[in-house]
Chain A
Amino acid sequence: MESIGVLMACPMNTYLEQELERRFNLFKFWTVSDKTQFLKAQQNNIRAVVGNATAGADAELIDALPKLEIVSSFSVGLDKVDMVKCKEKGVRVTNTPDVLTDDVADLAIGLMLAVLRRLCESDRYVRSGKWKKGDYKLTTKVRFTGKTVGIIGLGRIGMAVAKRAEAFSCPINYYSRTEKPNLKYKYYPSVVELASNCHILVVACPLTEETRHIINREVIDALGPKGVLINIGRGPHVDERELVSALVEGRLGGAGLDVFENEPHVPEELFGLENVVLMPHVGSGTVETRKTMADLVLGNLEAHFLNKPLLTPVV
């Protein structure tokens, strides 16, 4: 398979890159200065694209690669892949479901605890030497146990978040496109109503045209000055401008954010806020899981080129 051309959309994982280089004819898109020229020159060689949450295969790229057979995403979210175009052209698409569910859910809970219990602020307080100088300001830390958690999207990740939060005696409410039968969690038919009925709101749904800016001014107002937003979905789920002004003005109680509208750009207004915890898009970011995800990408590509059933196809 060393002659098969694979285009890697952006840097994502050393092990994956090395393995793709070893097994295929790997093209690293980010090292190319004139991308249009490059695509013209290589269009008959590239049969696969490996993308992730940052860069995938949009309509333009798919159109530029007439020999494209498969897009294998190093992510579970497929918002960077033009699925309609892929279906149209018969291009297969795979992602990495299940293997990252636990890590993303763990991070969601970690962010909740970090925001409510001011973990990062406390750590900074000790590191700066302030603890030695005087009493710790005994303010603003809130108990996590028993707080109502509202989950947007009760798929694999949403359910995993619910399961963990339940161990802290948190009542679980949710919003989903359709109500799920036989669940002990309480369903709300709109995000605004969900936000009015929880202390901590978690975004755990896929990014689509419908869910873009699903967290808007109205939802933020409903969540309120004691409410906390946790985003482990995609940056564009949240109207970031509205979020920033709400946090700066104290109209929202706090936020734990792993994703942003224009990564790697993070709004600077958030840097000085102790009720905000910021992560560099590492929901699935553990050594173990990234390796498992990489193996799944490689496994899907090999299966495809050996005419075997794909491991985790979406189309």
Chain B
Amino acid sequence: MRRMSLLDSPSQGSAIHPAFIALKARCESREIVDLDAICIEFVAAFKQFILSYNKPSDKAMSRDVDALIKPQLSYITGGLPLPLAIGNLVKQLKQEINALSDDCTEEKGKQQLTDWLDEFVENRIQLAFQAISLFTRDKLKGAHVVLTYSWCPLVEQTLLAAHEDGVNFHVCVLDSYPCQRGKKLLNSLCKADISCSYGLITSVSHLIKQCRLVLLGCSAILSNGYALAIRGSSQVAMVAQAANIPVLLAAPTYKFVDKVQTFTEGHRSSCTALVSERMEMIPADLITAVVTELRILPPSSAPAVLRAKQLVV
């Protein structure tokens, strides 16, 4: 697969905004890794793009912005699909842009769009994370040993918050080569004085016997209840199910997408833009519960969340 290099020039005429160039570079160099972090950076880049936009006097803002976004997005994606949750965000943003009235001023239009982006990050990401931490904390109270895999900022925040609230638990961090992201989680948990152990994913069958709960992150939840997560997650979920241990998936509602897929397709389509890791599917029957900011749900309730959040396309 040919990777787009930084020296590739964008399509003729339209200049790519430096914020997007920086975003792509940072993602490719793995400075930003998890989907939640990428999403926040993506929104920040978009905000800069909108703020630096100059509306021509003869065109309506909504149509103009819409046309300008296309080359920016195709630069970022470089022919690959956008990660599902970010694709969702872009669809909603485009709807918001189209909703701008034809006669709105540049000031007002920019204000509206940046407000929407700010609200998205605040409500759907930051506050959602807090709500998910609270819901998960109640389940952590009964489970004295928790197993988690690799690094997910939401899982990290949940564990740290629960520990601060006085819940007592031990964390088993599983990790895999070559990225060894689990070490990042291990570092922050140890700094907070949480009792941890560390193992490679090959030792999952041994470690699962000590655990009472498995907590995983994900990058998308499909409408049939299947989850998209980093490679290795479904292995952990399968072993947990065999050992009769409940599997909890932390997923804010912005990650719910109106798409159905039951297996990870071939090599090419499992690569997405911006996200450097390869993803895989976790089947719905391996997931005991999905923790969202609305409530704890069974994976089969994914369509209900899509309806509630009007994410159905």
* A, B bound: no
